[in-house]
Amino acid sequence: MQQPIRRALLSVSDKTGLEGFARNLSQMGVELLSTGGTQRVLTEAGIPVTGVAEYTGFPEMMNGRVKTLHPKVHGGILALRDNPEHVSDMEEHGIEGIDLVVVNLYPFEATVAQEGVSRAEAIEQIDIGGPSMVRSAAKNHAHVGIVTDPADYGRVLDELQKRGGALSDELRAELAFKAYALTARYDGAISRWLFEQDGAEHDGDSAFPSGFSMGGVKAMDLRYGENPHQKAAFYTTGAAGEPSVAEAEVLGGKALSFNNIVDLDAALALAKEFKEPFVCVIKHTNPCGAAVHEDIEAALEEAWSGDPISAFGSVLAFTRPVNLASAQFLVDGNRFVEAIIAPSFDEDALDLLTHKPKWGRSVRLLACGEYGPASRNPREVEVKKVVGGFLLQERDLTAEGQDEFRVVTEVAPTTEQAAALAFANRIAKHVKSNAIVLTGPRTVFGVGAGQMSRVDSVRLAVSKAGDRSAGSVLASDAFFPFPDGVEVAMDAGVVALVEPGGSVRDDQIIAACDAARIPMVFSDARHFRH
């Protein structure tokens, strides 16, 4: 049977729920120790509290940098209560046992996510005493409870009341696990930030650090993973510095699934390429439709026309608020989508989508705030897990416009064709390799994705586009290795092409276009997406 908690140390940056929690502890007869701002809040609330400086006989100093780094604090936390030597040391040095530690950390991640934060300001938000106490308490969780999340205050109080002022072994172990997850994430965030500042100067001029850690906080358990037999959960890693699925507000619909989150992230990534009214239709992370238009509802209708069959059960992203006309288009006919992400939803559109039969019960609606090409955070890295390790890479945020295109054929594209090629190229960047996209000036007609040979991707895109292949332009995410893909495209009526170039057979590809008097431009930038 665990001994009741007699003494608690509270030192928190996030003071959510602090007063009520501390008052309940005090009413249970728990002596409270505290520091700095936490102590002031408790004192002003009339809750009995002893300052750590009074307990240790050593004042806070250096603008609060040194407060709890003292043997009477850490000895009181780390001492094994069932070890006679430890008990003797406590008695000899006047150390009182601290049975509960309530600590959350300086908001480093939130601080560095703010624009214009100086290096000195960020450094001051690196907590030292807090993580030290968290680690001490978590190490000694056999005897000490460690609470790092205000969301756990209620659970702790309930158990203290039910167990005569003690915490169970199970809850202390769970809280210790959560505490170490917090410090791991915290240290990882600091390490990554320091490397972003000047780490490459000290790490062989590498774009990546010699060590990399990434912590997360579980946002939700998911119904299952990619398949029903796989368990899954969604974790958030802190402020992304841009609108994201992780930080979006869920306004309605079923709980998000594993596949929903992956597709929503892909949809948002594509939509961020555009500042114009734009809608994309995503299926299995690939766009099956996308369009730019003066009106967002017209962009939706054009995007849906790209592949109406595949659009059923898709995920949508809007660059403008979802209005009533867009919502009405979706609920009419036999249309249905899994999820929608947009900057916001007009009130009447939200009302329709959340109350229409079939829609209201199912469709996930996420509002993520305004975004566009300028909202993307270049410091965010992409992480890919493999068995035994993981891969890091920079995000592909390049966006070649028609001014960067290099005409390699005898015939140059018209102004309209060049604009259409630039549109198609931006779409192709977000299609699984091998990627082929057929478009008009601002609408996707057909997509060939994920085929093992590029010519098969062309055939698939042409098949999807149907009659609209005639007069369309084509974008390829990588070079054509043989003329066959270009020939299939030209036979279907494609009138202009963009590809990166770089094949040993570029001359053959260009010659095929010249023979047909079809313009081709090189972007000189590959956009593989595996």
Catalytic residues: 139, 284
Looking up tokens 């009447």 gives 348
What are the beta bridge partners of residue 286?
283
| Maximum Cα interatomic distance, the chain, rounded to a whole number of Å | 96
* Helix ranges restricted to H, 223-323: 258-271, 296-305, 308-311
CA distance 514 to 332: 47
Q: What are phi and psi of 342, to 5 degrees?
A: -155, 165
HSE-CB at 153 with a 13 A cutoff on CA atoms is 19
Whether the bond between 434 and the residue before it is cis, its omega within 30 degrees of 0, is yes
Looking up tokens 């300052």 gives 51
Looking up tokens 């270049």 gives 378
The answer for residues whose C-beta is within 8 angstroms of residue 483's C-beta and 6 or more apart is 505, 508, 509, 511, 512
- Whether the Cβ atoms of residue 97 and residue 117 lie closer than 8 Å to each other: no
CA distance 308 to 320: 22
Q: In one letter, which amino acid is 504?
A: V
CA distance 302 to 289: 8
CA distance 372 to 319: 7
CA distance 108 to 98: 27
Distances (CA, A) of 415 to 171, 281, 406, 419: 67, 27, 14, 6
- Whether the Cβ atoms of residue 497 and residue 489 lie closer than 8 Å to each other: yes
What are the beta bridge partners of residue 520?
497
The answer for residues whose C-beta is within 8 angstroms of residue 259's C-beta and 6 or more apart is 226
Cα 314–chain centre separation: 20
In the numeric block, which tokens belong to residue 296? Answer: 């967002």
- Whether the Cβ atoms of residue 283 and residue 310 lie closer than 8 Å to each other: yes
Looking up tokens 């009533």 gives 324
CA distance 509 to 501: 9
Residue 428: is it exposed, middle or buried by C-beta count within 10 angstroms (0-12/13-18/19+)? buried
